[in-house]
């Protein structure tokens, strides 16, 4: 198991839930330190699925005193998950990549119209 494979899921609606979630984050941090694993805080993020609570709780999630950044979409195992759990962001990225590759292929061919 790699430390970057850890994901925490919780329903956070109150300040007590924020405290419990931060406690879970600190437990993971302590476990990683015990096993001499480094947590890349820059790669850690918060994806909140309910925008009603986004403004009040996002800034309170921390690892070792460092606040975690909130994102509206996250890539995990090649799949982009957004806050509305719709595939639109993932499909848009795949489509854009496909268009870029097709354009590269077209540029490789020289056409001569007479």
Rounded to two decimals, what is the model's pTM? 0.71
Question: DSSP 3-state helix, strand, coil percentages of the chain (rounded to 5)?
Answer: 45, 15, 40
Q: Which stretch of 11-15, 54-58, 72-76 has the lowest confidence by average pLDDT? A: 54-58
Q: How far apart are CA 43 and CA 22, in angstroms?
A: 17
The rounded distance, in Å, linking the Cα atoms of 17 and 12 is: 5
CB 45 within 8 A of CB 71: yes
Q: What is the pLDDT of residues 62-92, one digit of tens each?
A: 898 899 888 889 988 889 998 888 999 999 9
């Amino acid at each position: 198991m790699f430390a970057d494979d850890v994901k925490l899921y919780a329903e956070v609606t109150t300040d007590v839930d924020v405290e419990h979630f931060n406690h879970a984050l600190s437990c993971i941090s302590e476990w990683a330190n015990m096993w001499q694993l480094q947590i890349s805080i820059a790669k850690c993020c918060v994806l909140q699925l309910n925008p009603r609570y986004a403004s009040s709780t996002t800034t309170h999630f921390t690892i070792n005193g460092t606040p975690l950044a909130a994102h509206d979409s996250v890539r995990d195992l090649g799949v982009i998950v957004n806050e509305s759990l719709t595939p639109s962001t993932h499909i848009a990225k795949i489509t854009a990549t496909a268009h870029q590759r097709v354009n590269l292929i077209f540029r490789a061919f020289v056409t001569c119209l007479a």
